[in-house]
Amino acid sequence: MKINGYTVQFNEGATILEVATAAGIFIPTLCYKKELQPSGGCGVCTVEDINTGNLLPACATCAQNDQNISTTSDRVIRLRKSALVLLLSDHPADCEAPCQMACPSGLPVQRMLESVAAGKWDDARRIALQYPFVCGDKVDDTPCERVCRRSKLGGAVAICAIHRYLCSEEYPVSSDKKSDQRKFRRTSTFRSRMRGLSAEEMLSLAAEKGDRAFKGGATMDQDAMRYEARRCLQCGCERPDNCELRDLCAAFDVKQPPASRTNRRIYRERGAGGFRFDSSRCILCERCVRAAARLNVIVAPGIQGRGFDSRIAPPLARSWDDIDEKTLRVCVQACPTGAMAMR
């Protein structure tokens, strides 16, 4: 067979992707993962057979002697871009939280607020102390609060007051734990945004639905911090630097399509060992399902529902807590996006 004009040898039964990879020719993939049964569902690995004009999923099509494959024709690139845009049109999620992008110090706002909401005061303070407090008291002086997604839903989260309070001397931290060195990196040229959600849907993502209670000049304390932190929508992704969808969108210079109503209901769920599932980031590639199936365990995630209601979920009448941690870890490793993560 030929790939991009080169004659290549192959063993019978090998897929076009395997033959190309062995020959050092790159074909992008998303729903494919080595060792797993290919599903041929995402369209990202599409190639063109110049002899027939057929567009083929390279991961799920066997190589044939009479094929003359192009991995880079205009049609192929167009189709790959369309496949990515289609995925993004139902991906109402931020790669990075706007507050974090806006913070001059690079404070991982979301992680700080999550620790506060959970009452993990030492963790919250450890995060806060690593990023200098540089802002003022008013919302105008606070770039993070100006862009906070809760601004239109009862007022921005009181990020700066919490940061300042955690950094204050009268709020000590025990020194027996290592400092959190994970730094925020603005690495990718592509950013997905939380689009197409109604106010109610956005509000459903916050543990606390009430309006901002903290006013400038008021005294912050643990109860007030916790209330404010629970108002956070937790916009950003758990794996912003480790997302195959994001990498492909950056590589193919794909933009998120204009806001359109998403039909997807968003589930954010937790399981053993710090497991997290966020359906707004799930592209339904089923890599997690196929990876878990290889373990031969009885309780594993699968696809539930049909059409727009399809979602990844534990078996009926079970919860994520019923799935053992080892299986969940395998699923997280298989997942190409931030839909599944371990903390």
Residues at the interface with ligand FES (CB under 6 A): 29-32, 40-45, 57, 59
> Could you tell me the smallest distance in angstroms from the CB atom of residue 119 to ligand SF4?
18
44: tokens are: 């990202």
Q: Which does 30 bind (CB under 5 to 8 A by kind): ligand FES, ligand SF4, none?
A: ligand FES
> Could you tell me the smallest distance in angstroms from the CB atom of residue 284 to ligand FES?
11
Q: Which does 286 bind (CB under 5 to 8 A by kind): ligand FES, ligand SF4, none?
A: ligand SF4
- Identity of the residue, 107 or 288, whose beta carbon is nearer to ligand FES in the bound complex: 288
> Could you tell me the smallest distance in angstroms from the CB atom of residue 40 to ligand FES?
5
Residues in 62-121 that interact with ligand SF4 by CB under 6 A: 97-99, 109-110
| Cα dihedral 68, 73, 76, 80 sign | positive
- Identity of the residue, 82 or 319, whose beta carbon is nearer to ligand FES in the bound complex: 82
Q: How far is residue 29 from each of residues 48, 97, 255, 265, 316, measured CA to CA in Å?
A: 15, 27, 18, 27, 31
- Identity of the residue, 40 or 302, whose beta carbon is nearer to ligand FES in the bound complex: 40
> Could you tell me the smallest distance in angstroms from the CB atom of residue 221 to ligand FES?
51
- Identity of the residue, 36 or 202, whose beta carbon is nearer to ligand FES in the bound complex: 36
Residues that bind ligand SF4 (CB under 6 A): 97-99, 109-110, 148-150, 157, 159, 232-236, 282-288, 312, 334-337, 339-340
